[in-house]
Structures are given as structure tokens and as C-alpha cells.
């Protein structure tokens, strides 16, 4: 595996691969890799001839009171994990390499951000879209892989790729979970032992909501999720929402997919999780009793 720290070197390297007509799979990360990240790298390895992984903690997507400075970083550990998972190239630029000066132009996201994390993290997805625009232009991949744990991010990235006509395929991959259902996240290391036990209830709330939706309206289901999480955890419930997917609007019977999403803030970590399901609104009318989970 080659370790690259400059944009010029990476573009020179990948130009040779493209000249040889090799396909490029790209996994953008902020590092502190876990099994969820590694599953993306392994899938890219199966589907692409060259696998590029980036590690860059992007300052543009952190708010003034968020955890940019203390976001976990361990490049030596990440390098070994990425190589073992099948990466060919590890791109790990410094902040000054990606942003040598204050940007003249940044990307503004206008839809799919008025709910869930985007509602409270003003400017977060603008920062995500800006850095991904840079990375997509630098790497020019054929396929790019994201975990569905942050389903709102996947929805925004798909919109970015479509609106800016990037010649790449955005692939959302299944959320990887611990044995008790907790979605894998770099921020899980911030949890105390008690909080770690409580955190498994985020996933349990999604399972319960999927079943409650068969008999209740979305608003009532959201209330029951909040009640459940307040009973089972000492965290602060930031939201429990059921929306259309990927548009993230109030659900109607015409939506093909729905997202059940949750966010809980513990003492030092804010955790999110979600479940994508087939629309159950029409199923209620037809008398069906099950819904598919994605």
C-alpha cells in the first residue's frame, strides 16, 4: 500500500492507473477506522481494481462547539488496518494541503438538510459537500462507498453527485453493528461503561418503531421512541423522526421508502442510528403486517 500526503502526488499516481483503464474505488473517511470502515474497503476491493482510502478530519464540517480537536486520531493504527483490509493507496493530507488558504468557493446544500442532524448542525453538510467535491475531483473514482449509519449524509452525497454530474456511483453500504446492535462509530470510544450498555437501546428503539408503525401514525411512533429512550438511557434524546427517504420530508403514502432515525447525546458522545424501511402507510390500508428493512 502506498501512503500519499499531497494532492499532486496522488493525482500523478492515479493518472497512470486511469491510463491503464483500471477502475478506482474510493472510501473517504475521517480515520480512527473500525469494522464498519473496513467493510467498505473490503467491498471496494471486490468491486474495483484500485482502492483508495482517504483519512482527513475535515474542519469545515465541525461547528464551533463540536469535537474537532478531540476527534480520535491514530494514523499508525489506521494505516495497518487499511492495508490489511485491501487498500492500495492511503491518502492522508494535512489540513494545509486541502485548504492552503481560506476557500474562495464552498458548496451550499439546499435540500435534505432541514431535518435530523442537519437541523441542529448548521453548515455541517455544506462542509461535507465541499470536502467531497474536492476529493471527488482529486481522486476521480468510479465508485465511492459510504456507510448507511449516516443515511442523511448518503442522501446528500447522492444529490451532490447528481447535481454536479460527477461520473461516479455512490454506494450506500449496510451499517455494521456490535453484537448488541450498537452501530459502529469512531465516537463510541467516548462512552462510559454505563453509557455503552445504554447505547444499545438506540437500535432497539428502531426495531420497536418498525413494529409500532404497523398500528400507529408516524407522530405517535416518534413519541413512543422518545419515551422508550428516556426510560432506558440517561442520554438526551435529540430527535426521533420518521421521514421519507432520501428526500427527508414528512412521509406520505406515495413515498417508496421511509427512514426511522434517532440521535441521543451522552456525556461526551452524540450517537446516531437509523433504519430504512419500505413505506408502511399503504401497507396499513392493505392489511399487510410486515415491512422490509434495509
Spatial separation of the C-alpha atoms in residues 252 and 133, rounded to whole Å: 32
Task: Answer yes or no: is 147 a known binding residue.
Answer: yes
Task: Answer yes or no: is 35 a known binding residue.
Answer: yes
Spatial separation of the C-alpha atoms in residues 198 and 51, rounded to whole Å: 36
Task: Answer yes or no: is 172 a known binding residue.
Answer: no
Task: Answer yes or no: is 32 a known binding residue.
Answer: yes
210 contacts: CB under 8 Å, gap ≥ 6: 260, 275, 277, 291, 293
Task: Answer yes or no: is 194 a known binding residue.
Answer: no
Task: Answer yes or no: is 232 a known binding residue.
Answer: no
Task: Answer yes or no: is 118 a known binding residue.
Answer: no
Task: Answer yes or no: is 2 a known binding residue.
Answer: no
**149: how many CB neighbours lie within 10 A of its CB?**
21
Task: Answer yes or no: is 126 a known binding residue.
Answer: no
Task: Answer yes or no: is 33 a known binding residue.
Answer: yes
Please report how the helices 201-212 and 218-232 are oriented relative to each other, as an axis angle in degrees rounded to 10: 150
Spatial separation of the C-alpha atoms in residues 232 and 198, rounded to whole Å: 7
Task: Answer yes or no: is 228 a known binding residue.
Answer: no
Task: Answer yes or no: is 225 a known binding residue.
Answer: no
The catalytic residue positions are 37
83 contacts: CB under 8 Å, gap ≥ 6: 1, 90
Spatial separation of the C-alpha atoms in residues 217 and 271, rounded to whole Å: 25
Describe the chain by its helix, strand, coil percentages, rounded to 5. 45, 20, 35
Residue 64 main-chain phi, psi, to 5 deg: -65, -25
Spatial separation of the C-alpha atoms in residues 69 and 54, rounded to whole Å: 19
Task: Answer yes or no: is 167 a known binding residue.
Answer: no
Inter-residue contact 11 to 52 (CB < 8 Å): no
Task: Answer yes or no: is 36 a known binding residue.
Answer: yes
Binding site feature residues for (R)-pantoate = 61, 153
Binding site feature residues = 30-37, 61, 147-150, 153, 184-187
Binding site feature residues for ATP = 30-37, 147-150, 184-187
Amino acid at each position: 500500500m502506498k501512503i500519499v500526503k499531497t494532492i499532486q502526488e496522488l493525482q500523478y499516481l492515479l493518472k497512470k492507473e486511469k491510463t491503464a483503464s483500471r477502475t478506482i474505488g474510493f472510501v473517504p473517511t475521517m480515520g480512527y477506522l473500525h469494522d464498519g470502515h473496513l467493510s467498505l474497503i473490503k467491498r471496494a476491493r471486490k468491486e474495483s481494481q484500485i482502492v483508495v482510502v482517504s483519512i482527513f478530519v475535515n474542519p469545515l464540517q465541525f461547528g464551533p462547539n463540536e469535537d474537532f480537536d478531540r476527534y480520535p486520531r491514530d494514523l499508525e493504527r489506521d494505516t495497518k488496518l487499511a492495508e490489511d483490509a485491501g487498500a492500495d493507496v492511503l491518502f492522508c493530507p494535512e489540513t494545509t494541503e486541502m485548504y492552503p488558504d481560506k476557500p474562495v468557493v464552498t458548496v451550499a446544500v439546499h435540500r435534505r438538510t432541514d431535518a435530523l442532524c442537519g437541523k441542529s448542525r448548521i453548515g455541517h453538510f455544506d462542509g461535507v459537500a465541499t470536502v467531497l467535491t474536492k476529493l471527488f475531483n482529486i481522486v476521480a473514482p468510479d465508485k465511492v462507498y459510504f456507510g448507511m449509519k449516516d443515511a442523511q449524509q448518503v442522501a446528500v452525497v447522492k444529490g451532490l453527485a447528481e447535481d454536479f454530474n460527477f461520473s461516479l456511483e455512490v454506494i450506500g453500504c449496510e451499517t455494521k453493528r456490535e453484537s448488541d446492535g450498537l452501530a459502529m462509530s469512531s465516537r463510541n470510544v467516548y462512552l462510559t461503561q454505563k453509557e455503552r450498555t445504554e447505547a444499545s437501546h438506540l437500535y432497539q428503539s428502531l426495531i420497536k418503531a418498525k413494529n409500532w408503525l404497523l398500528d400507529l401514525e408516524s407522530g405517535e411512533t416518534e413519541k413512543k421512541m422518545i419515551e422508550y429512550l428516556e426510560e432506558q438511557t440517561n442520554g438526551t434524546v435529540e430527535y426521533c423522526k420518521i421521514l421519507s427517504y432520501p428526500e427527508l420530508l414528512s412521509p406520505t403514502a406515495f413515498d417508496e421508502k421511509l427512514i426511522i432515525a434517532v440521535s441521543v447525546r451522552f456525556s461526551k458522545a452524540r450517537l446516531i442510528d437509523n433504519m430504512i424501511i419500505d413505506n408502511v402507510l399503504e401497507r396499513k390500508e392493505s392489511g399487510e403486517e410486515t415491512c422490509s428493512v434495509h
